[in-house]
Chains A and B, each alone.
Chain A
């Protein structure tokens, strides 16, 4: 699956986009987050406060319970501030 990071999540992880082969048992956004946190100290910092992290699965807003599977595009970002 493709994982994208925007705004300060991109700054903290140090990457905008990465291809992930999650271990078995990762079936939801929440489980994916737990896996991503182990990738680097930057990832752990980015996901430290989940209340300020939003997620989109295949470009639609989701939550920690949203299912994820191989081939999905999952994006993590702060609450939006456009307009």
Chain B
């Protein structure tokens, strides 16, 4: 289990390789990578152009919440391992923001836990995005769709 909150980029290939190495009891690894989009909202035609964004976070609480989210995933699925990497600072379209991965003996647990990790992280980890557009800076509003995605996992 590992949590990393960092300004620097990460290499998903290297992370995946490291995550898989030495595991002989694992049948499936699921890995999700989130990227910066170049438009605001859901509609690429209607949304303003995003030239970059800056992610702010709450050092200390971020790690604490990510650890709690990971512990929750482990309590729900028989996971072999889990990994969360989240970046902060200024990011441009196409750059990687987040990586979550889960491994288990069977693929169902790996898929579900991976989805759970990103859904819960989006509504619980203290990160905030401000988008830099040609019209100025705008703090991103929390999305109802993200709340809905997280609510699916409420017991």
In the complex, how many angstroms separate the beta carbon of B124 from the nearest chain A beta carbon? 7
Q: Which of A8, A61, A82 sits near B98, CB closer than 8 Å? A: A82
Q: Which of A4, A6, A77, A81 sits near B141, CB closer than 8 Å? A: A81
Q: Which of A4, A78, A80 sits near B124, CB closer than 8 Å? A: A80
Number of A-B contacts (CB under 8 A): 71
Task: Chain B residues near A80: list those with CB within 8 A.
Answer: 122-128, 142
A77 vs B125: C-alpha distance in the bound complex, in angstroms? 12
List 16 contacting pairs A-B, 8 Å CB cutoff, sorted by A. A4-B58, A6-B56, A6-B126, A7-B128, A59-B64, A75-B61, A77-B58, A78-B139, A78-B142, A80-B127, A80-B128, A80-B142, A81-B143, A82-B55, A82-B86, A83-B86
The range of chain A's interface size is 10 to 19
The range of chain B's interface size is 20 to 34
Task: Chain B residues near A71: list those with CB within 8 A.
Answer: none
Residues on B lying within 8 angstroms of A by beta carbon are 34, 55-58, 60-61, 64-65, 86, 97-98, 118, 121-130, 139-143, 146
Q: Which of B64, B118, B129 sits near A81, CB closer than 8 Å? A: B129
Task: Chain A residues near B55: list those with CB within 8 A.
Answer: 82
Map CB proximity to B onto A67-83 as digits: 1 under 8 Å, 0 otherwise: 00000000101111111
7 closest A-B pairs by beta carbon, nearest first, are A82-B127, A79-B142, A83-B122, A7-B128, A59-B61, A81-B140, A81-B129
Task: Chain B residues near A7: list those with CB within 8 A.
Answer: 56, 128, 130, 139
Q: Which residue of B lies closest to A4 (CB)?
A: B58
In the complex, how many angstroms separate the beta carbon of B60 from the nearest chain A beta carbon? 6
Q: Which residue of A lies closest to B62 (CB)?
A: A82
The answer to whether A82 and B57 have CB atoms under 8 Å apart is yes
The answer to whether A8 and B139 have CB atoms under 8 Å apart is yes
In the complex, how many angstroms separate the beta carbon of A83 from the nearest chain B beta carbon? 4
Task: Chain B residues near A4: list those with CB within 8 A.
Answer: 58
A56 vs B64: C-alpha distance in the bound complex, in angstroms? 12
In the complex, how many angstroms separate the beta carbon of A7 from the nearest chain B beta carbon? 4
